[in-house]
Amino acid sequence: MGSIGATNGNDSNVKACSPFTGAKRLRELLKDPSKVVICPGVFDGFTARLAIAAGYDAMYMTGAGTSMSKLGWADLGIATLDDMRGNAEMIASLNPSVPLIADADTGYGGPVMVTRTVTQYARAGVAALHIEDQVQEKRCGHLLGKQIVDRDIYFSRLRAAVLARDQLQSDIVIIARTDARQTYGFDEAIERLQEAVKIGVDVVFLEALQTKEEMEKVCKIMGDTPVLLNVVPGGVTPEYAVEEVSKMGFRIIIYPGLCIGPLLESVSKELKVLQTTGKASPKSSAGGVKEAFNLCGLQECIDIDKQAGGKAYSTVGQ
């Protein structure tokens, strides 16, 4: 299975020299059947920088995190194509050799809009995206009350996505996601994904699996087609360690809420400290800000300016 710390995310110059970037890199990772691609959920430049520095092989841009961080609203289908593509483009650009898998919801409309979504994501440097079968007024995959479109509508979305990928001659990875398990059962979800493979998608994603048996079964049924697992602590899918999930046969594991909970807890605590004591905690010192600046490219900017003969940042790093 894949190593979480396999690359040195702090050495951006070395990684930039990789022969693979974005989608090509992800496809190369998926060629190895013993490899599982572990993707922490990120939603802005800061969380993406932290994931890159930690050395992850790939990242996942969560739609829920994007909606909450960019718009301040829960994941209820409020974010638009422009919201999602803009955020994905920014994250993907931070280190193009670290593949970004991005939520693309329902594709934001009919077949024409789906082709537009795939085109914009591909040109933004996104390595992979997933299209789902919820109605346009969608919600987070682990919430109750999801409404699912008919097969014909879902398949038309996937055909449009595959058509756009092929017409662009792009390596972007198309992931078919189905939320049909909750409403119509496991067998219906499987049949939708089997047809999705015939249409030409690259990866399948059965959202909200409910038992270990279902988890093992979907991987067995899908055979050589890579299967993605969504890990949401407290959600309907049982949570297992990476090693066990890899043995089940999953090839990509995403953790959409990985950064959301710690951020909520730590920032809420710091705000309370200031409110109750009248001063910030020592952890909120200027040293922490400098560390964050370095994480987010301060030294690279200083080096570029120096190499270009500039003096704008000559004292910044002192």
Q: Which residues are catalytic?
A: 60, 75, 103, 105, 130, 132, 140, 177, 207, 230
161: nearest Cα among 191, 189, 125, 203 = 203
For residue 225, the one-letter residue type is T
- Beta strand extents in 179-316 (DSSP E only): 203-206, 227-230, 252-255
Cβ–Cβ contacts within 10 Å for residue 287, how many?
10
170/304 Cα distance (integer angstroms): 31
Distances (CA, A) of 25 to 18, 47, 279: 9, 21, 46
DSSP category for residue 239:
P
Start-to-end CA span in the chain (Å): 42
The 3-class secondary structure across 40-80, one letter per residue, is: EEECCHHHHHHHHHHCCCCEEECHHHHHHHHHCCCCCCCCC
Q: Return d(Cα 118, Cα 39) in angstroms, integer.
A: 20
The amino acid sitting at 286 is A
| Separation between Cα atoms, residue 232 and residue 254, nearest integer Å | 9
Dig out the tokens for 39 from the structure.
């993707």
